[in-house]
Amino acid sequence: MAKIDLSVNRAYIVVDGVIHHIDDLPRGFGEQVITWQNGKPVHTKVTYSKKI
């Protein structure tokens, strides 16, 4: 059984019973997009912007 550290802010997905964390934003503002195919997550995309 997988354990999740609830003291860390992070997004997770589960694929076929295996838990994966989504990459964190390196800095600034951003979004995390999960692409699904046939009912399963297959790709993640992380984009961010930096306020100047």
Q: Is 16 part of any domain?
A: no
- Scanning the structure block, which residue is given the tokens 């964390």? 21
Look at residue 10 in the predicted model and tell me its pLDDT.
Answer: 87
Alpha carbon distance 51, 43 (integer Å): 27
Tens of pLDDT along 8-46? 888 899 888 899 988 888 777 889 999 999 999 999 998
Q: Is 7 part of any domain?
A: no
**Structural domain total, the chain:** 1
- What radius of gyration do the chain's Cα atoms show? 13
Range of the domain at 47: 23-52
